[in-house]
Amino acid sequence: MVARDKGDGQAWLGVDLGTQSVRALLVTADGTVLGSGTAPLTGHREPGRHEQDPARWWTAVCTATRQALTGLRNGVQGPGPNVRVGGLAVCGTSGTVLLTDPAGHPVSPALMYDDRRASAEATRARAAGLAVQDSWGLPKALWLLGTHGPGRITHQPDVITARFVGRPVPTDSSHALKTAYDGEREAWPEALADVLSGISPRGRGASGLRLDAGLGGGGAVVPEVVRPGVRLGEVCAEAAEATGVPVGTPVIAGMTDGCAAQIASGALRPGAWNSVLGTTLVLKGAAVTPVRDTTGVVYNHRAPDGSWLPGGASSVGAGVLTAAFKGADPAAMDARAAAFEPAGAVTYPLVSPGERFPFLAPDAVALVLGEPAGEADLWAALLQGVAFTERLCLDYLHHLGAPLGGPLTFTGGGARSPYWNQLRCDILARPARVPRQTEPAIGMAALAAHGTTGTPLTEVTDAMVHTGAALTPDPARTARFAEPYAELVEELEARGWLPPDVAAHARTRLSADLSKN
CA angle 158, 132, 389 (to 5 degrees): 100
Does 375 reside within a domain? yes
DSSP 9: T
The two beta strands, 171-172 and 225-226, are parallel
Residues 206 and 60 in one domain: yes
Residue 47's pLDDT is 86
Beta bridge partners of 111: 51, 97
Chain segment 228-238, per-residue pLDDT in tens: 999 999 999 99
Looking at 80-84, 232-236, 464-468, which range is the least confident one? 80-84
Last residue of a domain, one of 252, 284, 310: 252
Does 323 reside within a domain? yes
Does 153 reside within a domain? yes
Band (76; pLDDT cuts 50, 70, 90)? very low
Q: Where are the beta strands (DSSP E) in 200-344?
A: 225-226, 231-234, 250-252, 273-277, 281-285, 299-302, 308-313
Band (71; pLDDT cuts 50, 70, 90)? low
Residues 185 and 276 in one domain: no
CA angle 142, 147, 150 (to 5 degrees): 70
Does 423 reside within a domain? no
CB environment 393-420: b (16+ within 10 A), e (fewer) = bbbbbebbebbbebbbbbbbbbbebebb
Please report, for the domain that includes residue 339, its CATH number. Answer: 3.30.420.40
Alpha-carbon gap, residue 84 to 81, rounded angstroms: 9
Residues 148 and 123 in one domain: yes
Q: For the sheet containing 33-40, what is the strand order?
A: 33-40, 21-28, 10-17, 84-91, 250-252, 231-234
State yes or no: pLDDT of 79 exceeds 70.
no
Chain segment 101-142, per-residue pLDDT in tens: 988 999 999 999 889 899 999 999 999 999 898 889 999 999
Residues 243 and 323 in one domain: no
Chain segment 283-330, per-residue pLDDT in tens: 999 999 999 998 889 999 999 999 999 999 999 999 999 999 999 999
Residues 287 and 332 in one domain: yes
Helices and strands of the chain, counted as H and E runs: 17, 24
Residues 75 and 209 in one domain: yes
- Domain total of the chain: 2
Residues 66 and 205 in one domain: yes
Does 316 reside within a domain? yes
Band (2; pLDDT cuts 50, 70, 90)? very low
Q: Is 279 left (phi over 0), alpha (psi -120 to 50) or beta?
A: alpha
Looking at 39-53, 79-93, 142-156, which range is the least confident one? 79-93
Band (214; pLDDT cuts 50, 70, 90)? very low
Does 88 reside within a domain? yes
Band (41; pLDDT cuts 50, 70, 90)? very high
Alpha-carbon gap, residue 392 to 157, rounded angstroms: 32
Residue 28's pLDDT is 95
Residues 52 and 119 in one domain: yes
Residue 208's pLDDT is 36
Mean pLDDT of 322-342: 95
Residue 467's pLDDT is 84
State yes or no: pLDDT of 218 exceeds 80.
no
State yes or no: pLDDT of 407 exceeds 70.
yes
Give phi and psi for 453, each to the nearest 5.
-95, -20
Does 344 reside within a domain? yes
Residues 242 and 335 in one domain: no
Does 141 reside within a domain? yes
**Average pLDDT score, the chain:** 90
Last residue of a domain, one of 202, 222, 252: 252
Give CA 396 to chain center in angstroms: 19
Give CA 346 to chain center in angstroms: 28
Chain segment 176-212, per-residue pLDDT in tens: 999 999 999 999 999 998 888 877 544 333 333 444 4
Residues 379 and 310 in one domain: yes
Residue 436's pLDDT is 84
Residue 8's pLDDT is 62
Residue 184's pLDDT is 93
Q: Is 381 left (phi over 0), alpha (psi -120 to 50) or beta?
A: alpha
CA angle 76, 77, 82 (to 5 degrees): 55
The neighbour count for residue 258, using CB atoms within 10 Å, is: 26
Q: Decide if 106 contacts 151 (C-beta within 8 A).
A: no
The two beta strands, 432-435 and 467-471, are antiparallel
Domain that holds residue 36: 10-252
Q: Which of 391, 396, 398 is nearest to 423 (CA)?
A: 391
Residues 297 and 231 in one domain: no
CA torsion sign for 63, 65, 68, 69 is negative
Residues 81 and 196 in one domain: yes
Last residue of a domain, one of 192, 217, 252: 252
Q: Decide if 444 contacts 11 (C-beta within 8 A).
A: no
